[in-house]
Amino acid sequence: MVDQTLSGKTALITGASRGIGAAAAHAFAQAGANVALAARSTDDIDAIAKEIGDQAIAIPCDVADPDAVKAAVDQTIDRFEALDILIGNAGMIEPISMLAETDLAAFSKAVDVNFKGVFYGMNAVLPHMIARGSGTIITVSSGAAHGPMEGWPTYCATKAGAYMLTRAADHENRDKGVRVLGLSPGTVATKMQRDIKASGVNRVAELDWSDHIPPEWPAAALVWMCGDAADPYLGTDVSLREDEIRRMVGLI
């Protein structure tokens, strides 16, 4: 993989208790960054932070709560004196259901996490990054942000909204020194894919487990995206399905 140095940088990662978020916490720490792990699963992020050591802190945080997100940003800055990187990774696939049959409470919860959670993170961290004249914001996106999938109207719509936030934040802040982009990782071997498989809905559920990439791949891509080599992709999604991207990250 590409040897990217992030020594002296600090990254806040949401949804850091498992899957891509947990792998990213380890990858950023290995690249030399301080890492703040934010998630609702406090025991899990505590354990990961202990594995990493003094350069990591665990912050209980529900991204659907704007006050909790702001507090996570403030706590990270208080501990490490700055916040250079925000990884908006927290997300959920549920509800998997046809639009006409979707439970409204489940829909609202997904909007709170997948869309509002991304907005809250950007809103909380941008003033700090703008004041410093530097920073990187990366949202973990999806191919579902760019095309409809049967049984995923909520997921597709919320991911599409998050993608537009990436575009808007880049449009407003690139000339202020803030880099904003997204990562579309493809299908990753995480709990989300097990839930999709169990649903039996649409062609993604038909994929074999061996078709999914390990979470360490998108974690490595996120580290790479914090460097200048990813600047041509500012304001858009980097697709880890593309061999060219995989080569640049050093995966193939």
Mind telling me the catalytic residues?
155
Inter-axis angle of helices 117-132 and 66-80, nearest 10: 30
Matching residue, tokens 């559920």? 205
First CA to last CA distance, the chain: 8
Instruction: Please state whether beta strands 56-60 and 85-88 pair in parallel, antiparallel, or not at all (unpaired).
Output: unpaired
Give Cβ neighbours of residue 81 (< 8 Å, ≥ 6 apart). 10
Q: How far apart are CA 107 and CA 202, in angstroms?
A: 19
Give the residue from 139, 135, 140, 160 showing the smallest Cα distance to 149: 160
- The sign of the CA dihedral 180, 176, 4, 81 is negative
The CB-side HSE value for 55 (13 A sphere, CA atoms) comes to 18
Name the phi and psi angles at 226, rounded to 5.
-80, -5
